[in-house]
Each structure stands twice: as C-alpha cells, then as structure tokens.
Structure 1
Amino acid sequence: MATSDDDIPAQYASPPCFMHELDPAFRAPATMPAEVRRWRKAERERLIQARLAVSADARAAMAARIAEGLDAVIGDVAGKMVSLYWPFRGEPDMRPWMASVNTRGGRTALPLVVEKGRPLVFRAWKTGEPLEKGVWNIPIPSQGDPVLPDIVISPVVGIDPDNYRLGYGGGFYDRTLAAMPRKPLVIGIGYELQRIPTIYPQQYDIPMNRFVSEAFRA
C-alpha cells in the first residue's frame, strides 16, 4: 500500500539505512559508480535472502554466541552508553543482551532518523520503557534524551575483510559516524554467511572497528 508523506512519522527506528526504499531522497551518494551501485544492490538482496533462509532457532543460537563475543570485546559495560537496534529481516536479535547491559550498570540507546540527509540521533532507551510504532511497525522510543554513545553496535548485511560494512544503502551510519564529535567504538555484528571478499569501498565508507559473528574468538 502506498504511503504519503503525511502518513510517515517524523522519527524512524533502526534500520535507518533502509530508508532509501521508502523515499528516493535516501539513495546512495551520486558519486558512487553505477556498476558498484548495481553490484551492491544485487549482493544486498542475495545476502538478505540467505539470512532469512536460516531458521529462527538457528538465528537465536547464533545471536547468543554473538552476545558472548560482544562481552569479550567490550568487557565491563558499567557506565558505558551502548547503541543497539531493533532487529529486522533476520538480523541478530540482541534485545536480551541489551537488557543485560542495563542490569550490569550500562545504558542503552536506539538510533533514529529525524531528518532527511542528516545524521542519526541516538535516544536513550531500555527494556520496559514506552515504545511507539514507526515505519514498518518497528518500535521506537516514545521518549528519552538524545545521547552520544560510547559504543555503537551496527547490524551488517555484508562485511569484508577490512571491516567495511555493506548496509541497506541509505548511508546513514557512515554519515553519522563522520559527524560525531568523538568516534565511538563501532562493532558490526552478523553471521558468518555474511562475509564477502569486498564491498568495493568508496571514499565516504567508514569501516567498523570490529566485527563479531557466531564464530568470534577472542
């Protein structure tokens, strides 16, 4: 069903990089070579379908191992602000780990799009606090202060050996990281099946600091 601009909420939950499918204004930068854009689109579709083909039980087991990997990479979360995401289209469901961050003295947040062509805003949120539905019925915090994360956990569609992330094509994470006054620890997460030889990185692509999958070893 078509959606008019008046029907679209002013704020959007993760994955904000998928916004290019809602509005053409969210397309990848025009400077990307056409052949790279076409390749990324096809590879993105292939990897998402491969991820969705994995059973829900298998994805849950892999998410639990990813959580163990995050603990190994981050260490003590007490006093840290960690941005996560609401799972979408087979992404690892890290909501149980998000809750554990709060019980261990950390704080958590979700990213939101507040304006076209602008960096994301991170809003503090933890399990049990109010949510409302955003685009695609993905829940977003209905209240909460803007925050600057110490750690950004970003789901990937694909990841290359240099930790360049293939996302949904909107460029929001790259734009956000480039604009942040201090760069957080950026950790990409996903499954081993999402590893690819290259994403053909462009000048504006920003690599993750680390990548954690179900096969992570400290």
Structure 2
Amino acid sequence: MKDVKSAARAAAFAAREAAHAKGQGQAAELLADFLAPHRGKVLSGYMPMRSEIDPLPAMAAHQGPVGVPVIPGRDQPLRFREWSPGCALVEGTFKALVPAEGAWLEPEVVIVPLLAFDGRGYRLGYGGGFYDRTLELLRARRPTLAVGFAFAAQEMAGVPIEPTDQRLDAVVTEQGVRLF
C-alpha cells in the first residue's frame, strides 16, 4: 500500500501544481458560502503551503471562532490554536505557520487540505495520518463536519484507502460543492 500511495501522491502533486498555476477562481467564495450556515461553530482552517488552495478569505469571513492546526508531535492528533487575520505567526512543524499565541479550540467544522480526493469522499494526504487521527478523535466526541478544499483537478478515480482513513463529508472546489 505504501508504494501505491506514494505513486498516487506524486501524480496528485503534479495535478495540484498545474491547477494552482491557473488560479483558484471563486473557490474561497464558494467555501465561505458553504460554511455560512455553520456560523457560531468553531471552525478549523489551515495556513496554505506551496500549491495548496487558499482558504484564508473563507476563514476570515467565518462568523465564529477560527483555529489552525498545530502538530504537537509524531503520531499524535492535531491541536488547534485560535487564529484571526493579522495575528502574529511563527513557524511550526513542517514549516507551517501557526499563531504565536491564542486559545486552544476544538473544532466542529474542519477545512481539510489534501493532495487528492475521489467520488466516495476519501482524501489523499501527505502521509502523516494527522487529519485521519484527528477526525477520528473529534468524531468520537461529537458530530464533526470535514470539508475538503481543493482544485477540481485534484480529483482522482479512486484514492487508495486503509481502514484508518476518514471520509470527508464534502469537498469544495472552484467548480462547486460535492457532498458525500
């Protein structure tokens, strides 16, 4: 399975790079519209890296607390630190920017970055298992909405999955919303 996922990741990176070069169009506005009914709920987004699609405008538009993921250590679930536009950021694990300070939050809605997704709602991540571990933990505590955010070109016929992989509830792309 490791080799299958590695090959899928290489293809997904290439597809995402090509899509990123074309721009994300109205994707952030579509994401903000999708999230609007969840105002007041704790939202987690992410700080985009490399060619990831940018959720920051949708995060800034959210009417409620917003956090971003912090990696506390290998094989651990993510933690989420409160974020707001313009807050002081520091470099965290894997060079991801995280708020320098702020409250720890437990999200009810999670915007999930990804390399690829499929029509069943599965996603291909970077291989650390952080989001799968985190979604499993959050969903054991209460209903948690997992929303993939990606370019439409990142869809693949079938993401290779393992028993620990968590399904997304929706994916938002520049072409619209897909529910699973």
Q: Answer whether contact 2:109 2:147 (CA < 8 A) is retained.
A: yes
**How do 1:137-176 residues align onto structure 2 when only pairs under 5 Å count?**
137-176=95-134
Matched, 1:59 2:23: yes
Q: Max radius of gyration: which structure?
A: 1
**Residues 136-169 of structure 1: per-residue CA shift (max 9 Å, x gap):** 5432111111111121000111101111010001
Matched, 1:132 2:90: yes
Q: Answer whether contact 1:48 1:89 (CA < 8 A) is retained.
A: no
Q: Answer whether contact 2:146 2:170 (CA < 8 A) is retained.
A: yes
Going from structure 1 to structure 2, the CA distance change for 1:42 and 1:139 (only over 3 Å counts) comes to same
SS at match of 1:39: helix
Please state how far the C-alpha of 1:55 moved relative to its aligned partner. Answer: 5.2
2:155 counterpart (195, 198, 204):
195
Kindly indicate which of the two structures has a greater share of residues assigned to strand. 2
Match in the other structure for 2:67: 109
**How do 1:8-87 residues align onto structure 2 when only pairs under 5 Å count?**
36-54=1-19, 56=21, 58-61=22-25, 65-87=26-48
For structure 1, which runs of at least 5 residues remain unmatched after alignment? 1-35
Match in the other structure for 1:97: 58
Normalised by the length of structure 2, the TM-score is: 0.89
CA distance in 1, matches of 2:86, 2:33: 26
Aligned-partner residue type, residue 48 of structure 2: P
For structure 2, which runs of at least 5 residues remain unmatched after alignment? none
CA distance in 2, matches of 1:126, 1:198: 36
Percent identity of equivalent pairs: 33
SS at match of 1:53: helix
Please state how far the C-alpha of 1:72 moved relative to its aligned partner. Answer: 3.7
Normalised by the length of structure 1, the TM-score is: 0.74
Which deviates more, 197-206 or 67-76? 67-76
Please tell me the root mean square deviation across aligned C-alpha atoms, in Å: 1.8
Q: Answer whether contact 1:111 1:123 (CA < 8 A) is retained.
A: yes
CA distance in 1, matches of 2:7, 2:166: 21
Match in the other structure for 2:135: 177
SS at match of 1:76: helix
**Residues 173-197 of structure 1: per-residue CA shift (max 9 Å, x gap):** 1111111222311100101111111
